[in-house]
Amino acid sequence: MSNTVEFARMNGLGNKILVVDMRRRRDMVTPAAAIKLAGDAETAFDQIMAIHDPRADGTDAWIDILNCDGTRAQACGNGTRCVVQALASETGKKTFTFQTVAGILNAREHEDGLISVDMGRPVFAWDRIPLAEEFHDTSRIELQIGPIDNPVLHSPSVMSMGNPHAVFWVDRDPMDFDLHRFGPLLENHPMFPEKANITLAHVTSDSAMTTRTWERGAGLTLACGSAACSAAVSGARTGRTGRKVAVTVASSPNRGTLHIEWRERDDHVVMTGPAEWEWAGVLDPTTGAWQRQAENEAGAR
């Protein structure tokens, strides 16, 4: 294989991530390459986190984020934790500042291996989420799925956490709902001109909830960091929880937990959780051809 770059297969609570090293290059991972990689069972992913040389002073890298359908995403909290772990292992640094299309993200690896990412301030204005209709109060909007007199899901809290989110409140385990059926309808609902991440959230105490997410551009996902942030913020915003929430991701392996704090002092949302390295390889960012570094004799896929 020629024109290759190194990548790592990682995960954040099961959220499948490919961290691709595009530093010292001017090209990008192409949508065609992303789609090819997503179609291979061994490299199937929720997001690609492509690390590029910094574009702004005071930052460590520019991060380009791709979904498995080849579209570009604005934010990925679980993926950002994976990038931090990869770069911390390479450099020995513990704190990082990244630039994305959604803005600047600051992150830190703690001594226990957990990683905190400052996801910035949530956005509630209807035209910045964005929504197709004006709503003065986006903590509860008029939107439902199912019979008009007995909807299955209704009245979501909506916001942007760098990307659009709709959080539907449910009264039992989110795994009990057919999100595989409802997710595509809601992601592509005319209310969301840029589509949306769809989350079901079950509040279990004033400091805990359980979630499950249909991710924009990726579908059903084992975990979504920005969705966990959005659910936690929406819980506090609607009086269901406080501003520090343990979010158990129902679909992640062993129901992993993210700790979310919506800080009062600056309104920033800080997410803390794990990242896990799985294996490494090389890939062609133009075509998506790849091979494991430890299995070079097997040849390109």
Residue range 89-144, pLDDT digits in tens: 999 999 999 999 988 999 999 999 999 999 999 999 999 999 999 999 999 999 99
Domain of residue 49 covers: 5-119+276-298
CA distances from 279 to 9, 35, 111 (A): 5, 20, 23
**Tokens at residue 118, please?**
């400052």
CA distance 160 to 133: 15
Assess whether 258 and 194 both reside in one domain: yes
80 lies in a domain? yes
Residue 248 in contact with residue 210, Cβ under 8 Å? yes
Indicate whether 148 and 261 sit together in one domain. Answer: yes
Q: Is 224 annotated in the active site?
A: yes
In a domain, 252, yes or no: yes
Place of tokens 């299309």: 101
Is residue 76 among the annotated active site residues?
A: yes
Regarding whether 235 and 287 lie in a shared domain, the answer is no
- Same structural domain, 104 and 174: no
Tokens of 269: 């949302």
pLDDT at 114: 97
| 240 lies in the same domain as 287 | no
Q: How many domains does the chain have?
A: 2
The CATH number of the domain holding residue 254 is 3.10.310.10
Say yes or no: 45 and 160 in one domain.
Answer: no
Of the residues 68, 76, 82, 229, only one is catalytic, namely 76
Looking at the fold, whether 168 and 223 belong to one and the same domain comes out as yes
Could you give the C-alpha distances from 220 to 59, 162, 191, 217, in angstroms and in order? 32, 19, 20, 10
- Would residue 125 count as lying in a domain? no
35 exposed, middle or buried (CB, 10 Å; 0-12, 13-18, 19+)?
Answer: middle
Please give the angle made by the CA atoms of 185, 211 and 40, to the nearest 5 degrees.
65
The stretches of the chain forming alpha helices (DSSP H) are: 31-38, 77-91, 179-187, 225-237
Contact 87, 23 (CB under 8 A): no
3-state DSSP assignment of residue 237: helix
- Whether residue 288 sits in one domain with residue 199: no
Same domain, 284 and 260: no
Q: Note whether residue 98 is domain-resident.
A: yes
Q: Which of 68, 82, 224, 229 is catalytic?
A: 224
Q: Mind listing the pLDDT tens digit for each residue in 185-200?
A: 999 999 999 999 999 9
110 and 191 housed in the same domain: no
233 and 154 in a single domain? The answer is yes
Q: Is the pLDDT of residue 298 over 50?
A: no
pTM for this model (two decimals): 0.91
Q: What is the pLDDT of residues 17-71, one digit of tens each?
A: 999 999 999 999 999 999 999 999 999 999 999 999 999 999 999 999 999 999 9
Residue 127 falls inside a structural domain: no
Q: What is the pLDDT of residue 6?
A: 97
What are 230-246's pLDDT values in tens digits? 999 999 999 999 999 99
